[in-house]
Amino acid sequence: MQENTKATVNKSNLVIYQKYIELIYYTNDIVKKYPKCENLSLVKEIKNSLYDGFRMLMYAIKTYKTQDKLKYLSELDINLSLFKVYVRLSYKYKYISMQNYTTWSAIITNICNMLGGWITSCQKR
């Protein structure tokens, strides 16, 4: 029974990993359209938050201790919260369209929902 649970957790990790890769691809495509004056400010912050979050996701996937896993998942949650603010700013300053904003937000929300479930499952152990 326990092997089945571990397999399920690994599959969910893989799904969140795939969704995060999708987020990276989408983000890189979108920020190419930003004005050059934003390359050293908002674009840099967006990419830093994105890749720091990916690093935390990888640490969480590879870590076996629940406390360490929760620490990394918490940091990923913070990075995603920052990322949401950067997306809102991008829309407010009209660097992205409503369609881009909606798609980007949906991807982030999907990842946040998976992350919340993962954090909850770790806390129950």
- Extents of the domains making up the chain: 2-124
- Please report the pLDDT score of residue 6 as a whole number: 52
CB atoms within 10 A of CB 108: 20
Cα angle for residues 83, 40, 29 (degrees, 5° grid): 55
How far is the C-alpha of 8 from the C-alpha of 117, rounded, in Å?
A: 13
- Please report the pLDDT score of residue 114 as a whole number: 95
Condensed to tens digits (0 to 9), the pLDDT of residues 79-125 reads 999 999 999 999 999 999 999 999 999 999 999 999 999 999 999 87
Query: For the whole model, what pTM was predicted?
Result: 0.85
What's the number of CA atoms in the CB half-sphere (13 Å) around residue 31?
Answer: 23
Among the listed residues 76, 16, 90, the one whose alpha carbon sits nearest the alpha carbon of residue 46:
90
Condensed to tens digits (0 to 9), the pLDDT of residues 15-46 reads 999 999 999 999 999 999 999 988 889 999 99
DSSP codes joined into one string, 54-122:
HHHHHHHHH--SHHHHHHHHHHHHHHHHHHHHHHHHHHHTTSS-HHHHHHHHHHHHHHHHHHHHHHHHH
Handedness of CA 29, 32, 35, 39 (dihedral sign): positive
What are 18's two structure tokens? Answer: 């795939």
CATH superfamily for domain 2-124? 23S rRNA-intervening sequence (1.20.1440.60)
